């Protein structure tokens, strides 16, 4: 298994479009190992988040972070089809077929450099720093090279939403509060509430308690910025099996009613 299991994940059917991704290459011609991976799950976040590199990257001295594998479907923004526009807008060569993206950092099938078996090599590209590196001879080797690692939370800059989503999915209870704190003033409150809601039915009450406390901060300090569905998220905690979480949720419900 390569993907992180998500209880809310909707696994879309694989869609084989006939649009050309490169000369003579449509979705059905993409590497078989990639297609086999999508048969397991049609895209998603990876259990192993790092791949070794020969040169430094924006992520580290000897590795690049890999977050999400794009699927073959039409659900933006994690569709391989939709994200090919990044290649064109960045002025990159047409022999790249993008399969993972995080801001300016991309991973692509490189059809200019094929393996002995005719498979495209895997290229890491950072558009912002103009850092291009071949990280694997083919997609099978790419998967074999992946290593497990937590997503580090920096103090100076905010993680992207792609990095944040990956970090939430990989976090343990010890690192969980730091993540909610890191994103507490994120302007996209819908995205933030989505993660509070995601953990509101976690089997471990420690996770649910931390999520409820994150919601408390939002209601007390960011109330005017919250979308209307904050009451729906709060309702998840009002029926929690843990009495302490229920009490906190009840207090928050009164706080919202008094506005």
pLDDT tens, residue by residue, 233-255: 999 999 999 999 999 999 999 99
Q: Quote the tokens at residue 172.
A: 């343990």
What is the phi/psi pair of residue 131, to 5°? -100, 110
Name 156's Cβ contacts closer than 8 Å, sequence gap at least 6. none
pLDDT at res. 10: 87
Least confidently predicted of 4-13, 43-52, 246-255: 4-13
Torsion-angle region of 203 (φ positive above 0: left; ψ -120 to 50: alpha; else: beta): alpha
**pLDDT surpassing 90 at residue 144:** yes
HSE-up (13 A, CA, CB side) for residue 118:
5
pLDDT (tens digit per residue) in 157-189:
999 999 999 999 999 988 999 999 999 999 999
Q: Where do the H-state alpha helices sit in the chain?
A: 32-40, 80-89, 139-145, 161-170, 176-182, 189-199, 205-221, 230-238, 243-257
Q: What is the pLDDT of residue 259?
A: 65
Tell me the average pLDDT across 16-41: 97
> Of 101, 3, 107, 99, nearest to 47 (Cα)?
3
Size of the chain, expressed as the number of residues it contains: 259
Q: Span 6-10, mean pLDDT? A: 84
Mean pLDDT, range 82-86, rounded to an integer: 94
Average pLDDT over residues 202-229: 96
What is the rounded radius of gyration, in angstroms, for the C-alpha atoms of the chain?
Answer: 20
Task: Return the CATH fold of 7-145.
Answer: SMI1/KNR4-like (3.40.1580)
8 Å CB contact between 111 and 121: no
In the block, residue with structure tokens 């200019």: 112
């Amino acid at each position: 298994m390569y993907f992180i299991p998500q209880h809310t994940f909707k696994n879309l059917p694989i869609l084989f479009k006939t649009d050309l991704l490169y000369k003579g290459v449509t979705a059905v011609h993409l590497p078989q190992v990639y297609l086999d991976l999508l048969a397991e799950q049609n895209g998603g976040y990876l259990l192993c988040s790092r791949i070794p590199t020969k040169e430094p990257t924006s992520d580290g001295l000897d590795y690049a972070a890999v977050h999400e594998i794009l699927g073959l479907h039409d659900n933006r923004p994690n569709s391989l089809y939709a994200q090919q526009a990044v290649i064109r807008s960045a002025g990159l060569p047409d022999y790249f077929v993008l399969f993972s993206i995080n801001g300016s950092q991309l991973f692509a099938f490189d059809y200019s450099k094929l393996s002995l078996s005719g498979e495209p090599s895997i290229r890491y590209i950072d558009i912002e720093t103009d850092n291009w590196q071949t990280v694997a001879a083919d997609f099978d080797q790419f998967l074999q090279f992946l290593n497990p690692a937590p997503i580090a939370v920096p103090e100076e800059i905010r993680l992207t939403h792609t990095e944040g989503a990956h970090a939430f999915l990989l976090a343990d209870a010890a690192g969980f509060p730091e993540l909610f704190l890191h994103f507490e003033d994120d302007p996209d409150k819908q995205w933030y509430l989505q993660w509070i809601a995601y953990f509101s039915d976690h089997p471990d009450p420690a996770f649910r308690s931390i999520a409820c406390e994150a919601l408390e901060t939002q209601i007390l300090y960011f109330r005017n910025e919250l979308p209307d569905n904050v009451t729906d998220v709060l309702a998840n905690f009002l029926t929690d099996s843990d009495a302490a979480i229920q009490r906190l949720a009840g207090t928050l419900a009164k706080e919202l009613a008094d506005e």
